[in-house]
Amino acid sequence: MKRLENIYEGEWKTVSLTATALGLTVRERFERFRFEAMSELVLRLAGGLMVAGSTMLWLVLPIGAGTEKLVSHSLLAALVTAVGLFVYAYGTRGFRRQLSLDAKRGLLSLTKINMNEQGRVVRSIRINDIESLYLRRPAAGTSQASLHVRVAGQENPILALTGAVDELEEIHQDLCEIIQLSGAESQPEPTPSRAHLGKRLQSA
């Protein structure tokens, strides 16, 4: 419990972290994604303008237009509205990753958050389904490491977070410790599968 009782002192440059009694919440810092934030803003504006433009189509409809003209305008307006809504939804899908571990519920949640701090893409993984947590160190020409989650029954691992190596290493250690402690509390007599999970987490 010693590691879990610290308050994460020091300056965290690539992620922001909050420790709770039930687990941990980590999110990538906004400052690292200024280009993505600008792209999101542009997509939002473009989507909104397209939806507004679809209503303007009715203002240019000639008075006394025939049925054929009405149908063509209606189809065009509906198409522009649909595209505008799609562009807006795509723009608000989120570009920063957030990881939340709730040991009491036994869930690890992976979320994409947008510039309004809203989660748009959420994936919940049961702790018992986690095969391993591992850190992938920066490749040549990059400065950011990445934390991955391998889930039972899935061939490809899931990217959970990116950030500085030293920061992700500490987060990785704490996640492993929280998961193992939560398993020990819920199962005083660990089963081989839980013991095996603990071993894999430590060696990841």
Q: What is the pLDDT of residues 11-32, one digit of tens each?
A: 788 888 877 767 888 888 888 8
Output helix, strand, coil percentages for the chain, rounded to the nearest 5.
45, 25, 30
Least trusted range by pLDDT, from 51-65, 90-104, 119-133, 162-176: 51-65
What is the model's pTM?
0.69
How does 70-83 read in b/e, with b if 16+ C-beta sit within 10 Å? eeebeeebeebbee
Of 175, 148, 151, whose CA–CA distance to 161 is shortest?
148
Confidence band of 92 (pLDDT split at 50, 70, 90): confident
Confidence band of 66 (pLDDT split at 50, 70, 90): low
pLDDT higher than 90, residue 149:
yes
Q: Of residues 82 and 138, which shows the higher confidence score?
A: 82
pLDDT higher than 80, residue 114:
yes
Q: Of residues 48 and 188, which shows the higher confidence score?
A: 48
Least trusted range by pLDDT, from 45-49, 67-71, 165-169: 67-71
How confident is the model at residue 121, as a pLDDT?
67
How confident is the model at residue 141, as a pLDDT?
62
How confident is the model at residue 64, as a pLDDT?
64
Which residue shows structure tokens 């504006």? Answer: 45
Of 130, 112, 124, whose CA–CA distance to 180 is shortest?
130
